Amino acid sequence: MKIALIVGSTGLVGSELLKLLVENTEYDKIHVLVRRQIQFESPKIIAHIINFDELDNFEPGTSIDHIFCTLGTTIKKAGTKENFRKVDYGYILTLGKMAKEWRTKKFLIVSSLGANAKSAIFYNRVKGEIENALMELQLAHLFIFRPSLLMGNRLEHRGGEKTAIAIYKIINPLFFGKLKKYKGIQAQQVARAMMEMALINNTPQKIFESDEIQDM
């Protein structure tokens, strides 16, 4: 029986992942780090309400087999580039260092299509920088998932994203062959791929592009 930790369990992918882990008999307990109480209840779930600025003070009180990081924000929601970087780089790097200290077997993270530390686009550059920083930690097993536009019902309002999703629903059939990785992908599909790779894949480090996730 495995024990998991999810950071970002109220987001689009994280909420789907939480449901899947609760349903999966291989997971005994699922710890979630949240800012406020979650609505999803299960005997398997242990919720920890924390201040993420003090993330490095958190102790799970048990060994953690798999850490799933689906944490992420937008520059609009964060307010500034500095605040965005604090979440999408700072918090995640702290979590990676904790995984190293705890000797967690597998660390799985949702990044983004186009992540590149040398990108001229700030969002993609930060995503690439945190990928590199995590790889440098030499975790036991690190799996990075780079989905395209995430499809699904998000609890928080993101007007621009809703517009993009509406457009993608029309043009999605046009993305095939070499363009397949740009096709919009269901959040549940990403969550399921993360869970399956945590359970069966023992590669030290692996990056999964969006088209690979779709093919799982």
Name the DSSP class of 121: S
pLDDT higher at 189 or 169: 189
pLDDT in tens, 46-85: 999 999 999 999 999 999 999 999 999 989 899 999 999 9
Q: What is the CATH number of the domain that holds 64?
A: 3.40.50.720
In the predicted model, is pLDDT for residue 157 greater than 70?
Answer: no
Domain carrying residue 119: 2-154+185-210
Instruction: Determine the average pLDDT of the residues in 97-114.
Output: 97
172 band by pLDDT with thresholds 50, 70 and 90: low
In the predicted model, is pLDDT for residue 27 greater than 70?
Answer: yes
pLDDT at 163: 59
In a domain, 84, yes or no: yes
184 band by pLDDT with thresholds 50, 70 and 90: confident
Residue 134 is encoded by which pair of tokens?
Answer: 């995590």
In the predicted model, is pLDDT for residue 155 greater than 80?
Answer: no
pLDDT higher at 165 or 125: 125
pLDDT at 152: 77
In a domain, 166, yes or no: no
pLDDT at 69: 98
How many domains is the chain built from? Answer: 1
CB atoms within 10 A of CB 195: 22
In a domain, 127, yes or no: yes
In a domain, 133, yes or no: yes
CA-to-CA distance for 7 and 126, rounded, in angstroms?
18
CA-to-CA distance for 99 and 138, rounded, in angstroms?
11
CA-to-CA distance for 196 and 55, rounded, in angstroms?
27
In a domain, 105, yes or no: yes
Cβ contacts of 71 within 8 Å, gap of 6 or more: 7, 8, 11, 14, 87, 88, 91, 92, 95
pLDDT at 182: 73
CA-to-CA distance for 208 and 206, rounded, in angstroms?
6
pTM score, whole prediction:
0.89
In a domain, 31, yes or no: yes
Cβ contacts of 120 within 8 Å, gap of 6 or more: none
142 band by pLDDT with thresholds 50, 70 and 90: very high
In a domain, 168, yes or no: no
In a domain, 44, yes or no: yes
In the predicted model, is pLDDT for residue 159 greater than 60?
Answer: no
